[in-house]
């Protein structure tokens, strides 16, 4: 997989196509974990989310993939962007905008009742990044990418204890921000 990532990063379209079967199941697992927090009966499905993430990844030109973990970190960011875009569109629809449901039959993302919370979390991750970029990346990779502490530590080249502390502090900060009156 690492070799395919290196070749794909240098623009080899065949390598990117060969990479897809290797990452598809992992991306589906990440999407499933992300969407399991929501109710069923939504307009976006796990498969659609995985395909959109993959399309975002192959649309990037000359990415210097540093390995499997780096790939999934970038996938986490892409998943976050897609879910936030969806939540924004959903909020616009609630305010009178028009959005057609996506026609899929599989498990669906149920963000309808949680768009405001998702947008608020996104804003808080961005706010956290203003004064602590690493903690914001940890939240993004854990929440949107389902990455483990060990994977994040490896990617960011720090100890697992550091990531544990970052995750704990970031969650505490986010909780404080969410409960401010």
Distance CA 81, CA 90 (A): 14
Task: Evaluate if residue 25 carries a pLDDT over 70.
Answer: yes
Closest among 167, 146, 149, 148 to 50, alpha carbons compared: 146
> Tens of pLDDT along 123-132?
899 999 999 9
Output the 3-class SS for 13-71. Answer: HHHHHHHHHHHHHHHHHHHHHHHCCCCCCCCEEHHHHHHHHHHHHHHCCCCCCCCHHHH
Mean pLDDT of all residues belonging to the chain: 76
Sign of CA dihedral 33, 165, 75, 176: positive
CA angle 55, 72, 23 (to 5 degrees): 65
CA–CA distance, 111 with 37 (Å, rounded to integer):
9
Count of all residues that appear for the chain in the document: 181
Question: Average pLDDT for residues 51-60, to the nearest whole number?
Answer: 74
Report the C-alpha gap between 42 and 20 in whole angstroms. Answer: 26
Q: Which residues of 101-112 are buried (b: 16+ CB within 10 A; e: fewer)?
A: eeebeebbbbbb
Query: Over 60: is that where the pLDDT of 181 sits?
Result: no
Q: What is the pLDDT of residues 81-101, one digit of tens each?
A: 888 888 777 776 655 455 444
Q: Which domain holds residue 88?
A: 2-178
Q: Are 42 and 103 in contact (CB under 8 A)?
A: no
Per the structure, the count of domains in the chain is 1
């Amino acid at each position: 997989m690492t070799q395919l990532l290196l070749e794909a990063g240098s623009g080899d379209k065949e390598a990117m196509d060969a990479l897809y079967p290797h990452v598809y199941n992992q991306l589906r697992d990440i999407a499933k974990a992300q969407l399991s927090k929501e109710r069923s009966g939504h307009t976006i499905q796990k498969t659609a989310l995985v395909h959109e993430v993959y399309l975002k990844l192959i649309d990037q030109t000359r990415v210097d993939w540093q390995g499997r973990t780096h790939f999934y970190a970038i996938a986490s960011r892409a998943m976050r962007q897609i879910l936030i875009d969806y939540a924004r569109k959903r909020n616009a629809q609630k305010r009178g905008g028009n959005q057609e449901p996506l026609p899929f039959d599989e498990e669906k993302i149920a963000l309808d009742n949680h768009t405001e919370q998702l947008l608020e979390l996104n804003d808080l991750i961005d706010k956290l990044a203003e004064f602590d970029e690493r903690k914001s990346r940890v939240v993004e990779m854990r929440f949107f990418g389902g990455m483990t502490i060990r994977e994040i530590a490896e990617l960011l080249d720090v100890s697992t204890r550091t990531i544990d502390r970052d995750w704990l502090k970031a969650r505490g900060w986010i909780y404080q921000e969410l409960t401010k009156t």
